[in-house]
């Protein structure tokens, strides 16, 4: 097996080889680090390669396993994290020039949990500056440059978790941790052709993560498969006294299980009308692959509520509050994207009434979604209505007349619902398309089980970008 092949193995298989000592954690780390250093810059995907740290952790894992102490399926497996997660003694830049030298004296809780599971942290991965908190309108909104999808490097890998999406897709790391406020796990998963899981709000501690919107932010795994994401979620979910929004719930996951019954799937009215033809065709093909596992109801009426304006107002207001010092100091002018240099000030102009109205409307939104999930188990949509945007254009210059923001983005984030994005085929310019499943709160096991069934019947998630294979 070629070294590169190791980075594309499913976590469960890779972990079994590590446990049986067929594969050395040190060897894995070295392959991962070499690919991060050599290929990461081609994708603008990497901020910091943690070679010395990773090799120490890998040697420790190898020694433990040799002594019969195996911590679980992640033991000895390399990973990367979006560079908004604190890592003790290593710069945590938030993707933004004013914070390029920022160093914390502690690890984020998710980093601690993954290290306790034996996983080996190899890199801090690139992101859109401040996770898009200043209202960016262009892929080139990070001091590392625009994240590029390995499937065609003229196109964007998606934001704001641009580095995690590209790094997993190109086989630089077996999995990575991203964050989502309004699409930042699902979008780069779609554009980069990987599987991404946005957990229920509060399932994963955010302690040690940069705060953009404290009522919307979530951390979750990005990997090659639904099973990969579930294995990682099992390690990072759980209570944390340092995060007052923690649900205290665990996510037990041992093996893939086919759903015990046919799942009721809703396809919202209009969600496949204004999308690219390949997106629609691949979405329909995906549902057909699951015909024996799901009962599909089409043209389900979507609750008529101000989803987009509400999420926009909340992110604007909470983001301005989170970065008030940056705005007051004028250091915001150091940001790269021109729109970001001024966009944050709009939050200071948003009235308290407008913010509170946006927060208040979330109660009927949650009630509406609760009612919907009384009739259906899963909502299925294309993850995005288009393939990846061009890396050298403002967003508005891409695919006019196409709807790119399905309900799994705004509605799912406002109501704190979990969602799973998976590759579904290819569209324009050889770029990946993606299907998303969204479920009721804490239904991650159902989403991952159905996702695993889909991926057992298709091979889109196993494909490698030719230039990085």
The answer to whether residue 396 is domain-embedded is yes
- Looking from the CA of 63 toward its CB, the CA atoms found within 13 Å total 6
Domain at 54, CATH number: 3.90.1300.10
Pairing of strands 176-180, 195-198: unpaired
Catalytic residue among 24, 82, 225, 247: 82
The answer to whether residue 252 is domain-embedded is no
Q: pTM to 2 decimals?
A: 0.97
Looking at the structure, do residues 97 and 142 belong to the same domain, yes or no? Answer: yes
Looking at the structure, do residues 273 and 354 belong to the same domain, yes or no? Answer: no
Length of the chain: 469
pLDDT for the residue numbered 344: 87
Question: How confident is the model over 153-167, as pLDDT tens digits?
Answer: 999 999 999 999 999
The total number of structural domains in the chain stands at 3
Along the 469 residues of the chain, how does pLDDT read in single tens digits?
788 899 999 999 999 999 999 999 999 999 999 999 999 999 999 999 999 999 999 999 999 999 999 999 999 999 999 999 999 999 999 999 999 999 999 999 999 999 999 999 999 999 999 999 999 999 999 999 999 999 999 999 999 999 999 999 999 999 999 999 999 999 999 999 999 999 999 999 999 999 999 999 999 999 999 999 999 999 999 999 999 999 999 999 987 777 778 999 999 999 998 899 999 999 999 999 999 999 999 999 999 999 999 999 999 999 999 999 999 999 999 999 998 998 889 889 899 999 999 999 999 999 999 999 999 999 999 999 999 999 999 999 899 888 766 778 999 999 999 999 999 999 999 999 999 999 999 999 999 999 999 999 999 999 999 999 9
The answer to whether residue 322 is domain-embedded is yes
The answer to whether residue 247 is domain-embedded is no
Looking at the structure, do residues 149 and 228 belong to the same domain, yes or no? Answer: yes
The answer to whether residue 254 is domain-embedded is no
pLDDT for the residue numbered 258: 76
- Domain end (from 217, 236, 255): 236
- What is the distance between the alpha carbons of residues 188 and 292, in angstroms, rounded to a whole number? 30
Please give the DSSP secondary-structure letter assigned to residue 396: G
Looking at the structure, do residues 267 and 118 belong to the same domain, yes or no? Answer: no
Looking at the structure, do residues 32 and 180 belong to the same domain, yes or no? Answer: yes
pLDDT for the residue numbered 404: 65
Looking at the structure, do residues 402 and 294 belong to the same domain, yes or no? Answer: yes
Looking at the structure, do residues 339 and 395 belong to the same domain, yes or no? Answer: no
Catalytic residue among 161, 162, 184, 246: 184
Query: Which residues in 58-172 belong to E strands, given as ranges?
Result: 78-82, 120-125
- What is the distance between the alpha carbons of residues 82 and 104, in angstroms, rounded to a whole number? 15
Q: Are 144 and 124 in contact (CB under 8 A)?
A: no
- What is the distance between the alpha carbons of residues 260 and 257, in angstroms, rounded to a whole number? 8
Q: Which of 152, 159, 80 is nearest to 122 (CA)?
A: 80
Looking at the structure, do residues 52 and 184 belong to the same domain, yes or no? Answer: yes
Looking at the structure, do residues 64 and 213 belong to the same domain, yes or no? Answer: yes
The answer to whether residue 22 is domain-embedded is yes
SS3 222: strand
Looking at the structure, do residues 155 and 68 belong to the same domain, yes or no? Answer: yes
Burial 321-333 (b: 16+ CB within 10 A, else e): ebbeebbeeeebe
Burial status of residue 458 (CB atoms within 10 A of its CB: 0-12, 13-18, 19 or more):
middle
Looking at the structure, do residues 271 and 212 belong to the same domain, yes or no? Answer: no
Q: Does residue 160 carry a catalytic annotation?
A: yes
Phi first, then psi: give them for residue 348, nearest 5 degrees. Answer: -70, -20
pLDDT for the residue numbered 104: 98
Catalytic residue among 24, 142, 157, 160: 160
Q: Which two tokens stand for residue 12?
A: 């469960």
Range of the domain at 322: 308-359
Alpha carbon separation from 252 to 14, 184, 350 (Å, rounded): 20, 25, 42
pLDDT for the residue numbered 375: 98
The answer to whether residue 251 is domain-embedded is no
- Domain end (from 328, 359, 390): 359
Looking at the structure, do residues 146 and 220 belong to the same domain, yes or no? Answer: yes
The answer to whether residue 28 is domain-embedded is yes
Using the Cα atoms of residue 159, residue 162, residue 164 and residue 167 in order, give the sign of their dihedral. Answer: positive
Q: Which two tokens stand for residue 435?
A: 């299907």
pLDDT for the residue numbered 405: 67
């Amino acid at each position: 097996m070629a070294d590169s092949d190791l980075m594309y193995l499913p976590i469960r298989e890779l972990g079994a080889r590590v446990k049986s000592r067929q594969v050395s954690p040190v060897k894995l780390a070295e392959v991962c680090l070499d690919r991060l250093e050599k290929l990461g810059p081609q994708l603008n995907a990497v901020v910091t390669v943690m070679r010395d740290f990773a090799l120490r952790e890998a040697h420790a894992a190898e020694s433990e396993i040799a002594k019969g102490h195996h911590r679980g399926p992640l033991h000895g497996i390399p990973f990367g994290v979006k560079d908004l997660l604190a890592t003790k003694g290593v710069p945590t830049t938030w993707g933004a020039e004013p914070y390029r030298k920022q160093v914390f004296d502690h690890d984020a809780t998710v980093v601690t949990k993954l290290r306790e599971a034996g996983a080996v942290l190899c890199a801090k991965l690139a992101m859109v500056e401040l996770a898009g908190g200043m209202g960016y309108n262009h892929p080139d909104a990070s001091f590392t440059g625009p994240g590029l999808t390995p499937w065609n490097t003229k196109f964007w890998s998606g934001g704001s978790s641009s580095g995690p999406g590209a790094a997993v897709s190109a086989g630089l790391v077996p999995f990575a941790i991203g964050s989502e406020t309004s699409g930042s796990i699902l979008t780069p998963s779609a554009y980069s052709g990987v599987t991404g899981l946005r957990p229920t709000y509060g399932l994963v501690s955010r302690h040690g993560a940069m705060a953009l919107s404290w009522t919307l932010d979530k951390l979750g795994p990005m990997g090659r498969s639904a099973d990969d994401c579930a294995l990682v979620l099992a390690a990072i979910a759980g209570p944390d006294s340092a995060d007052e929004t923690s649900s205290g719930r665990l996510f037990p996951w041992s093996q893939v299980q086919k759903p015990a019954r046919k799942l009721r799937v809703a396809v919202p009215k209009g969600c496949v009308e204004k999308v690219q033809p390949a997106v629609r065709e691949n979405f329909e093909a995906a549902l057909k692959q699951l015909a024996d596992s799901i009962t599909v109801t089409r043209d389900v009426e979507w609750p008529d509520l101000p989803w987009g304006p509400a999420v926009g107002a909340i992110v604007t207001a909470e983001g301005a509050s989170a970065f008030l010092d940056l705005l007051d100091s004028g250091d915001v002018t150091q940001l790269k994207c021109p729109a970001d240099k001024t966009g944050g000030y709009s939050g200071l102009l948003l009235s308290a009434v407008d913010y509170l109205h946006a927060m208040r409307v979330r109660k009927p939104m949650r009630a509406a979604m609760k009612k919907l999930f009384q009739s259906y188990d899963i909502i299925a949509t294309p993850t995005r209505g288009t393939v990846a945007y061009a890396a050298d254009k403002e967003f508005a210059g891409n695919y006019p007349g196409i709807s790119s923001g399905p309900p799994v983005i705004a509605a799912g984030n406002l109501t704190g619902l979990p969602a799973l994005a998976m590759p579904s085929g290819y569209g324009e310019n050889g770029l990946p398309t993606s299907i998303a499943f969204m479920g009721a709160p804490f239904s991650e096991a159902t989403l991952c089980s159905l996702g695993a069934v889909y991926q057992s019947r298709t091979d889109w998630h196993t494909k490698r970008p030719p230039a990085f294979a």
